[in-house]
Structure 1
Amino acid sequence: MTGTTWVLQWKDAQGTASLGLLQERLLRGLRASLKGRWSLDTRLFRSPHNYLELQNIKNRGTASDKSMYLVVRGQGAARRQFIVMASNRVVVEAEPEMESILLRLKNLWTPRQSARIEGYSYEGDDWVIHIGNMMVGTSYKGLVIEINYLPCSNPDQTYGLMRELLMMILPADAQIDVNSGVDYRRAGLDPHCMTDRHTAYQYVHLFTQSSLL
């Protein structure tokens, strides 16, 4: 999917009730059409410290972060997978079998926490909005909103428009984590032309800055 994407969290959402509220405002207020179900899964993998890292801990009290996130977007034929390294310097699209491969390589990458977002997709004239309730393990962590504005891929030119769209569907007192401060350059991504890799990176940024994963 092309265009500009903004991923944020409604922290004090109330599960099914909040999901229903947004659906009503999208379908009636913005005259959106329901596209179908939508989901996103993220797994955190960690690699054991090797000998050099143990020496690093002993000598300097620190170690490099051997963490990796697997972001799986969509369902069925539309399912796509992305790998984001914890160093935030690599974001790549992975082959469909990557998840099963990682789960078999437990001596190299150990699965730790996981997050799952389940909800629905809605479509307007020039935008698509995904909304879904988020579970981290067995804990409910609010509602995630992904806004995609299709005509333009430069986030600098679309932030104001998407913010207005967000204000139309959210309650005025909603506690929002706007997922700010995403540095695409750190991951080698063009900050002025978004792709699906940028979206995967936004999800990992949201999870890490909020200490969700």
Structure 2
Amino acid sequence: MGIKWVLHWQPNAGTTINSQILNEACQCAESINGVKEGRWKATLNFYRPILRDQASAAEFPRELLGISVPEQPNKYYFVVRGQKIVLEAEQTIQTIMEKLQSYKARLALNFEGSQYQLGDFQLRVGKVLLPNESLRGIVMEMEYLPISSVDKSRQIMEEFFDIWQEALSKRSLPGHFIHVEPNFTDYGLSDKYTPQHTAVQYSTVMHQLIATAQAGQAVRN
């Protein structure tokens, strides 16, 4: 695989996220010669430990994120942000966890949208949904296929992102995409990009989305 950036939509103060912004972002991808290649989907689960004895609470991470990504359908990734741990497991681990009753999925976020090819780049633009609920956010995966080095790809990723931002700015939308790069070395990850890097980025984006939603709620109150 190449190198990915996972970005999220940051609305301007006092504005909300809506499907029109997502539609405009998809149209923007096509306006810079992106060829639509179909749909994509990723899922993130927020787990909490099932504690039979409060005395054992310290033994379990309070927050465990489980992530599945389309390029590795048989794998499942766990991120423990507090301890800076990322793990790869088989997809069947979810069934094992249910049977062991060690952790329970408290919240699921679905990321789904359209995929576009732009030369050596792939763009995936999609919405963030809670089950049976309305739009909660917008995310974008930006992937450069020829390089798998986080460091060596940074300049070309920044240049492509500038082109994207310039094209999107012409649409006068109430916000912008931002990229918050985690410190991958904190998680023991090397410069060579892997799906574990993607999992860490999604966990970062989830926390950014929660912070954005909380800030919006505070403004409305």
Matched, 1:185 2:185: yes
User: Do the aligned partners of 1:119 and 1:130 also contact (CA within 8 Å) in 2?
Assistant: yes
Give the deviation of 1:209 after TM superposition: 4.7
Corresponding residue to 1:113 among 107, 110, 114 = 107
Spell out, residue by residue over 1:151-210, the C-alpha distance to the aligned partner (whole angstroms, 9 max, x if none): 112222323322332333343363334223x121221111x2111111111111221355
Residue aligning to 1:33: 35
**DSSP 3-state at the match of 1:74:** coil
For 1:1-213, what aligned pairs fall within 5 Å after superposition?
Answer: 2-12=1-11, 14-29=17-32, 31-49=33-51, 50=53, 52-53=55-56, 65-74=61-70, 78=73, 80-105=75-100, 107-136=101-130, 138=133, 140-170=135-165, 171-172=168-169, 174-180=175-181, 182-190=182-190, 192-211=191-210
Runs of 4+, deviation exceeding 4 Å:
49-54, 77-80
Give the deviation of 1:6 after TM superposition: 0.6
Alignment size in residue pairs: 200
Give the deviation of 1:123 after TM superposition: 1.3
User: Do the aligned partners of 2:61 and 2:80 also contact (CA within 8 Å) in 1?
Assistant: no
Gapped regions of structure 2 (runs ≥ 5): 214-221
Structure 1 letter corresponding to 2:136: K
**TM-score, scaled relative to structure 2:** 0.76
**DSSP 3-state at the match of 2:210:** coil
Question: What is the percent sequence identity of the aligned residues?
Answer: 22
Structure 2 letter corresponding to 1:74: P
Distance 1:23 1:9 in 2: 14
**DSSP 3-state at the match of 1:111:** strand
Give the deviation of 1:110 after TM superposition: 1.6
Give the deviation of 1:51 after TM superposition: 5.3
Spell out, residue by residue over 1:11-56, the C-alpha distance to the aligned partner (whole angstroms, 9 max, x if none): 3374432222222222232x222121111110011114555545x6
Residue aligning to 2:217: none
**Root mean square deviation, CA, Å:** 2.8
Distance 1:160 1:6 in 2: 12
User: Do the aligned partners of 2:17 and 2:136 also contact (CA within 8 Å) in 1?
Assistant: no
Q: Which shifted more, 140-149 or 81-90?
A: 81-90
Distance 1:68 1:149 in 2: 29
Structure 2 letter corresponding to 1:127: F
Distance 1:103 1:64 in 2: 16
Spell out, residue by residue over 1:78-135, the C-alpha distance to the aligned partner (whole angstroms, 9 max, x if none): 5642122344443233212223333343x31021122111101111221111110112
Structure 1 letter corresponding to 2:108: S
Gapped regions of structure 1 (runs ≥ 5): 57-62
Taking a change above 3 Å as real, the CA distance of residues 206 and 14 of structure 1, as seen in their structure-2 partners, is closer
Structure 2 letter corresponding to 1:26: A
